[in-house]
Amino acid sequence: MALKRKDILGLEEITREEIELILQTALSMKEILSRPIKKVPALRGRSIVTLFYEPSTRTRTSFEIAAKIMSADTSSIAPSTSSVVKGESLKDTILTLRAMRPDVFVIRHQASGAPHFVASLIPESVINAGDGMHEHPTQGLLDMMTILEKKGKLEGLTVAIVGDILHSRVARSNMWGLTKMGAKVRFVGPKTLIPPEADRLPVEVYTNIEEGLKDVDVINVLRIQLERMKKGLFPSLREYTHFFGITKKRLKLAKDDVIVLHPGPMNRGVEIMPDVADCEISMVTTQVTNGVAVRMALLYLLLGGTGDALAS
């Protein structure tokens, strides 16, 4: 089965069948990461451009490693050292880069919708690596892959997404992806950090942490994004930690086999306690590994690969 779309811009617009294809392909790709020589020729001769208008360690590196494992060539553009600082628009930057004939653009931008704008300009594939407060589809997919590996299914699970949901593109991609796969999603956090449109979304909302974590299968902890807040949305970090921080005591409210996810970077001691971040049910490093596999799968499928024909 092939992926019949040009771009990956968000999980809201992707079908359940497409998600299943991507996850199954990523699970197959992960085997390559365990080999002594992590190199396959699947994308030899192809070129990938990563264009990140926001700082990123794991997402950008993950895409670049994924591309190189499959023998693609990569070019990393940092706007702070490019013609953007001279006033060049996003459109002109993309058209200039496109003239160099890359095959895929991977874009992170602080403005919601920027990857959609780029995708409308060019025939090449565009992958959204995070746009404003809209979506982060590859993070949503790697989170689902991690849950699927540990739980063996997504259908019927209850997933609590805890923290700064208002500013989180991760929360939105998780919500669309997980609910399409048959999971129940809870938004858990202070009322000021819950999106005002939450009552129109396919989620249950909890502003009490004890009620929100009761009997859940998965806890996905979000970073407090102070850099996106124009004004204080809670009295202090200390108070947030007291009422919503994930502690070992609070883990006992969930099911006995609960797992904990965090998309990173973590604020240890704020939204998650260090002994939770490092405990055996924490999937943080597994998420990072799965991120490479998911991005390998997406690049492979977007460039014509099929789910049942993996490179050897």
Candidates 209, 204, 215, 268; CA nearest to 237 is 268
Q: Which two tokens stand for residue 263?
A: 């998309």
Query: Contact at 8 Å (CB) between 310 and 16?
Result: no
pLDDT by residue for the chain (312 residues), tens only, comes to 889 899 999 999 999 999 999 999 999 999 999 999 999 999 999 999 999 999 899 999 999 999 999 999 999 998 887 788 888 899 999 999 999 999 999 999 999 999 999 999 999 999 999 999 999 999 999 999 999 999 999 999 999 999 999 999 999 999 999 999 999 999 999 999 999 999 999 999 999 999 999 999 999 999 987 666 666 677 788 899 999 999 999 999 999 999 999 998 999 999 999 999 999 999 999 999 999 999 999 999 999 887 665 545
Distance CA 248, CA 257 (A): 13
Rounded to two decimals, the pTM is 0.94
Provide the sign of the torsion angle of the four alpha carbons 226, 91, 127, 185, taken in this order.
positive
CB neighbour list of residue 50: distance below 8 Å, 6 or more residues apart:
60, 63, 64, 74, 75, 76, 77, 106, 129
Check residue 2 and give its pLDDT: 85
